[in-house]
Amino acid sequence: MSGNVVIGQSGGPTAVINQSLVGVAETLRGQKGIGRIWGACNAVRGMIEDRFVDLTDIPQDVLDRIANTPSAGLGSSRDKPDADYCAKIFEVLKKKDVQYFFYIGGNDSSDTCRIINELANESGYELRCFHVPKTIDNDLMHNDHTPGFASAAKFVAQAFMGDNLDNRALAGVKINVVMGRHAGFLTAASVMGRRNEEDGPHLVYVPEVAFDEDKFLGKVDATYKKYGRCLIAVSEGIHDEDNVPMAIRLAAEQGHHVERDAHGNIQLSGTGALGDFLSQLVKSKLKISRVRADTFGYMQRSFVGCTSPVDAAEARAVGAAAARHALSGDVDGSLAIQRVNDQPYEVAYKRVELGDVAGKTRTMDVSHIVDGCDIADSFRDYLRPLVGELPVIETFS
């Protein structure tokens, strides 16, 4: 088979998504049967609008700098293509003689990739179709972890290390809201810089456990009495016992419209509402005067200068692995990162079926969650090799 290549970057950007783009492109360049290599601007959106960047001849040093730059260099999209949308995509792909399609993204994006692949099969259009994993949420099935997660986790860990020191210096209750719709992995990363029991975060709330206001207030009260302060990590996706996200309840109370994307996901980030609500709750119910809330927001996924080297290398390698699979024969699929060994840390990049990953969500094993409000050492052991060395800090004993 010979033909041209299209690579797209979809969903929320990460600090290393360009590594995967470059990993695919540099592995394919110059290979037999590979023609032009195009990057689709804004993912499927650029594919229907015939907007592409030609990557075939970009000098390697430029590609290397792009690889080291956070966020999706090609631009992204949250569109979910329906039949009409896909028909337009195939029209463009045919016109451009594209036989290889790589889509870098999370579980919604892998579902988009699956739909395009199925429609290609149905319409008899020959297309090697690969999903390359990417998500700071770390919530893809069959993956030990996903590219983008470790860098975001490093950011969250270093932010909490600093905020713990800040909270020691000027005591009070501090709530930090971390990204994470259904999976608490990123929020759990907040504990990575803890050196002892006194270090915060003292309480960690993830979406894997239903959030109970009374229990929460009880824990905050007890922690504040014990340490004279309390640092709290909360996932933006926490929900009540009936599985209603706090974000929906708050929007209803405040008379705001709840935004949803094409995949049906509620808009959670880009507002301080959840943090402010929890802060007011603690202030009013516990009569603690100094209560503050911060929402980490988009910095977690795009901050320049806080990338995990392991994450960057794996994101590049998983793109290269997808390219090699596509060159190897008539296969489609998604690449999964699987941990082969713990010490020394070693991973393998395994092909799995698109349907095994698409639209499914992996959540954190409950064995990592302690008492509904803390994170076990088992999770720290899991995360340590991904995040790498954190800065050394020292305090007066």
- CA gap 2, 128 in Å, rounded: 11
Q: Does 320 bind a copy of itself (CB under 8 A)?
A: no
Among 5, 6, 13, 362, binds a copy of itself (CB under 8 A): 13
Tell me: does residue 66 bind a copy of itself (CB under 8 A).
yes
Nearest to a copy of itself of 250, 327 (CB atom)? 250
> HEC string of 103-154?
EEECHHHHHHHHHHHHHHHHCCCCCEEEEEECCCCCCCCCCCCCCCHHHHHH
Binding mask 164-193 for a copy of itself (x = CB under 8 A): -xx-xxxx--x------------------x
Q: In this chain, which of 223, 302, 308, 334 binds a copy of itself, going by CB under 8 A?
A: 302
Tell me the C-alpha distance between 100 and 214, whole Å: 54
Write out the two tokens for 18: 């360009």
Pairing of strands 173-178, 291-295: parallel
Are 155 and 299 in contact by the 8 Å Cβ rule? The answer is: yes
CB of 32 to a copy of itself, least distance (A): 27
Provide the β-strand partners of residue 174.
231, 292
Residues 6+ apart with CB under 8 A from 26: 60, 63, 320
DSSP assignment of 226-254, as one string?
HHS-EEEEEETT-B-TT--BHHHHHHHHT
**Element of type H or E holding 38:** strand 34-40
User: Token match 């290599």: residue?
Assistant: 37
CB of 390 to a copy of itself, least distance (A): 7
Site size toward a copy of itself, by CB under 8 A: 67
One of 94, 195, 226, 256 touching a copy of itself (CB under 8 A): 256
Q: Which residues carry out catalysis?
A: 137
Q: Does 12 bind a copy of itself (CB under 8 A)?
A: yes
Q: Is 73 in the site for a copy of itself (CB under 8 A)?
A: yes
- Please name the residue that has the structure tokens 């797209």: 8
Site string for a copy of itself, 208-247 (x = CB under 8 A): ----------------------------------------
Amino acid at residue number 317: A
Q: Is 252 in the site for a copy of itself (CB under 8 A)?
A: no
Residues 92-151 that bind a copy of itself (CB under 8 A): none
Closest separation in Å from C-beta 366 to a copy of itself: 30
Give the one residue of 285, 298, 339, 361 binding a copy of itself; rule: CB under 8 A.
Answer: 298
Contact between 301 and a copy of itself (CB under 8 A)? yes
User: Interface residues with a copy of itself (CB under 8 A)?
Assistant: 9, 12-13, 15, 39, 53, 62, 65-66, 68-78, 158-159, 161-163, 165-166, 168-171, 174, 193, 256, 259, 269-273, 275-276, 279-280, 289, 291-299, 301-306, 390-396
